[in-house]
């Protein structure tokens, strides 16, 4: 009963923000979060110092889609809902690449991820609904940061990657390798934006939108990715892999490595533009004739926010 009351308390306190966001289309932003002061400067410094320290860590975020699924999962566990909403099933496959989206697999997703959150070190906050509830209940040990600061072109924490073995997990691994081979042309006169490091890539499967996955379930696909990671010698991982991201970052930490869930913005570090960043000044200012768009596309890619990554 106490758990249900606590959930309802957070839900009611978050409700006005949900109404505000729907009416204004503006995202909730924080100057403080659950008693922690937040700033882009502090976020950049925390990530930079964590990399320099050499110690293992996992910096992840709650994606809005994934958090909506966790919220639905929590409601079911507390007896406030009986099944997963159709909108959750759709967005988990379409946007995050999770499959199949039956109750059994969505429950497994929630059970595993929520129990693993106690091992994260940094949580990138993005203003998603009920984010404060899940932080307070499942990962209060983590240091909250501003998720936008995880984007490689938002600060200079990337400079700490100099000389390291950097594993980049992305569906656009071929494009990333090609672009890194000519990185001096991507940020002309500013080599510090994308420093010299040993690039290693691991291709994340595109299981979103209308893609027909080659393996039977998300968790089997995740196992294959984790097995591949175990065979790679790396120092830091940058991960942009949809619903796989949180799990892969935690896997990296378990291997004694460092991991940052840089999300969709991972591609921008390598001069790969997507619709989402066309008018965002921190990316737009660097775009030149050497930038490209991803040529790896799932069927129905425009269903993902109008083709946000392409």
Residues 73 and 199 in one domain: no
Same domain, 216 and 156: yes
Would you call the peptide bond into 48 cis, given omega within 30 degrees of 0 as the criterion?
A: no
The answer to the question of residue 184 being in a domain is: yes
What pLDDT, on a 0 to 100 scale, did the predictor assign at position 265? 98
* Contact between 198 and 166 (Cβ < 8 Å): yes
pLDDT for the residue numbered 22: 74
pLDDT at res. 69: 98
86 and 197 both lie in a single domain: no
pLDDT score of 28: 67
Asked if residue 31 is part of any domain, the answer here is: no
Q: What is the pLDDT of residue 21?
A: 74
Q: Residue-wise pLDDT tens for the chain (310 aa)?
A: 679 999 999 999 988 877 777 777 777 677 889 999 999 999 999 999 999 999 999 999 999 999 999 999 999 999 999 999 999 999 999 999 999 999 999 999 999 999 999 999 999 999 889 999 999 999 999 999 999 999 999 999 999 999 999 999 999 999 999 999 999 999 989 999 999 999 999 999 999 999 999 999 999 999 999 999 999 999 999 999 999 999 999 999 999 999 999 999 999 999 999 999 999 999 999 999 999 999 999 999 999 999 999 9
Q: CB under 8 Å to 238, separation ≥6 — which residues?
A: 152, 166, 167, 168, 169, 259, 260, 262, 266, 269
Q: How many domains does the chain have?
A: 2
Is 76 domain-assigned? Answer: yes
pLDDT number for residue 301:
96
- Distance between CA 217 and CA 244 in Å, rounded? 12
Do 85 and 195 lie in one domain? The reply is no
Both 173 and 102 in a single domain? no
- On whether residue 101 sits in a domain, the answer given is yes
Pairing of strands 198-203, 32-33: unpaired
Decide: helix, strand or coil at residue 86.
Answer: helix
Domain shared by 159 and 296, yes or no: yes
pLDDT at position 281 is 96
> Which of the listed residues 123, 145, 167 is the one where a domain comes to its end?
145
Based on the domain organization, do 271 and 161 belong to the same domain? yes
Which pLDDT score is estimated for 58?
99
Domain co-membership, 137 together with 207: no
Query: Residue 204 and residue 97: Cα distance in Å, rounded?
Result: 11
pLDDT score at 231:
98
- Domain-embedded: residue 56: yes
User: 94 and 124 share a domain?
Assistant: yes
Domain extent for 54 = 2-9+49-145
| Same structural domain, 170 and 298 | yes
Q: Report how far residue 264's alpha carbon sits from residue 66's, in angstroms, rounded to the nearest whole number.
A: 14
Compute the CA torsion angle 8, 12, 13, 14 (nearest 10 deg): 100
What's the pLDDT at 31? Answer: 82
Q: What is the pTM of this model?
A: 0.96
């Amino acid at each position: 009963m106490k758990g249900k009351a606590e959930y309802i308390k957070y839900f009611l306190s978050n409700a006005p923000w949900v109404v505000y966001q729907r009416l204004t289309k503006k995202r909730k932003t924080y100057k403080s979060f659950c008693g922690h002061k937040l700033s882009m400067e502090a976020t950049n410094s925390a990530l930079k110092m964590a990399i320099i320290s050499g110690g293992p860590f996992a910096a992840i975020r709650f994606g809005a889609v994934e958090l909506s699924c966790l919220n639905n999962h929590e409601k079911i566990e507390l007896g406030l809902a009986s099944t997963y909403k159709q909108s959750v099933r759709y967005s988990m496959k379409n946007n995050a690449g999770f499959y199949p989206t039956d109750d059994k697999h969505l429950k497994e997703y929630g059970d595993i991820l929520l129990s693993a959150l106690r091992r994260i070190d940094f949580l990138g906050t993005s203003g998603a609904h009920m984010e404060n509830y899940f932080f307070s209940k499942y990962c209060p040990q983590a240091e909250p940061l501003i998720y936008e600061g995880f984007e490689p072109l938002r600060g200079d924490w990337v400079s700490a990657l100099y000389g390291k073995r950097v594993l980049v997990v992305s569906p656009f691994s071929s494009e990333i390798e090609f672009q890194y081979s000519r990185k001096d042309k991507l940020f002309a006169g500013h080599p510090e934006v994308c420093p010299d490091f040993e690039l290693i890539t691991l291709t994340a499967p595109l299981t979103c939108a209308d893609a027909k996955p080659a393996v039977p379930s998300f968790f089997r696909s995740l196992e294959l990715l984790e097995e591949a990671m175990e065979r790679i010698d790396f120092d830091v991982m940058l991960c942009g892999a949809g619903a796989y991201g949180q799990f892969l970052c935690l896997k990296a930490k378990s291997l004694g490595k460092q991991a940052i869930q840089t999300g969709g913005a991972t591609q921008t570090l390598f001069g790969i533009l997507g619709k989402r960043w066309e008018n965002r000044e921190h990316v737009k200012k660097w775009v030149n004739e050497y930038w490209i768009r991803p040529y790896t596309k799932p069927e129905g890619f425009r269903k993902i926010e109008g083709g946000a990554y392409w």
